Every structure is written in structure tokens, then in C-alpha cells.
Structure 1
Amino acid sequence: MQMTLYSLLIILGCGLVTWLPRVIPFILVRKIRIPVVVLRFLSYVPLCILTALFVQNLLVVREGQLPAINTAYLYATVPTVFAAVITKNLMWIVIVGVVSMSLIRYFLV
């Protein structure tokens, strides 16, 4: 497959458009002082994102029916919640969740 200048410019442009919104907030935050209330609010963002992803995968939605529960995700929830209560560390919660889900998929599904 031959790479044209147009294709290369499109790829570089898409990379730039993807990169800029991820870098600009870091540049702006270094210049200004953020109030404590905003920092406290932003500390909940990772937990909210993980919860949204979890619930989206836990409930299986079918048109015209009530949501069903994905049992594999429900089984992986038990050790993950246990790790969350014990460690209160987001990294350990994610690690336990990924490992338990991989074990369930390997042995049960």
C-alpha cells in the first residue's frame, strides 16, 4: 500500500487533534491555582468512571425486557468489593478486578 502525502497529513492531523485536548489541561493547570473544592471534586472522577463502566457491563439490556445481570461480572464483583473494603486503594481494586475476571473467563466461561 502506497502512502501519499495527503494520507500522511490526515494521520498527523488526527494525532494532533487527539493529543491537544489531553495536553492543554495539564499546561493550564500548571499556570493557575485550583481551589481545594475543585480538587476534592476531581478526586471522585476515577471512581465515577470505573463505576459507570462496571454498571454498563454488569447489566445486560435487551429491548422490551428488564435488564439482566451478567453473572460473570457479578462473580468478579465479590473479590473486587472485598479488596476495595480492605485496601481502599484504586490500583489494587482494579488489579483484583482484572485478575478475578480473567480467572472467571478462563475457568468458567
Structure 2
Amino acid sequence: MEVRLDVFLIILGAAIVTFIPRVVPLMVLSRFELPEWGMRWLNYVPISVIAALIGQEILMHDGKISSFTNNVELLAAIPTFFIAIKTRSLLATVIAGVIFFMGLRWFI
């Protein structure tokens, strides 16, 4: 297998561009102690990002808001949400979501 210089430089550039935004803030922020309100605020970032990603995937198809009557993803997400609240287990939630989605896709 041949390694071309241009492909290698593209991969190296992509690695650097991915590495810098992740490591530089970590290095800078590790030298400071964030205030209590900042730490509380940062605790909400992961759940907000996940909610935005899941919400977009469930409610939109082809750039338009999908109808609620034919939306298998939304129908599977509703019981999955309640299982997530009840069990607070990521594994149980993912397994339940996959089972509900597969079951609904099979029947609908």
C-alpha cells in the first residue's frame, strides 16, 4: 500500500485541527478554578447537546418538521424517555429504545 504525501498531509491537518480545540481549552482551564456558577452551568452542557441532537433527529426529516402521526422515531422515543427516567440506566435506555424502534418499524 502506498502512502501519498497529499493524503498524509490532509490526515495530519485534520488531526491537528481536531486536537487543538480540545486540548487548548483543557490546558488553559486546568490552571484556573472556575466559580460555582460556572461549574453549575457547565453541568448542563452535555444534556443540552444531547437533547438538541435527539430532538432534531426525532422531529425533523428532510429538513422539514415531520408529521406526528407517521413518526416512528417519536413513537419509540416516548416510552424510551420514561424508561430513562425510571431506571436512570444508559444501557437499559439504549436497549429499550432499540427494541421499541425495531418493533415499531416492523409493525408500521
Q: TM-score, normalised by structure 2?
A: 0.73
Aligned position for 2:28: 28
- Count of equivalent residues: 104
Aligned position for 1:13: 13
Mapping for residues 1-109 of structure 1, pairs under 5 Å:
2-61=2-61, 67-69=66-68, 71-87=71-87, 89=88, 92=89, 94-109=90-105
8 Å Cα contact 1:61-1:68 kept in structure 2: no
**Cα offset for 1:61?**
4.9
RMSD, aligned α-carbons: 2.6
1:34-93 deviation digits (Å, cap 9, x = unpaired): 111011011111111121122212213567x86423632223323332234334x4xx2x
Structure 2: runs of 5+ lacking an equivalent: none
How far apart in 1 are the matches of 2:62 and 2:67? 8
- The structure-2 alpha-carbon separation of the partners of 1:96 and 1:49, relative to structure 1 and needing over 3 Å to count, comes to farther
Identity score, percent: 32
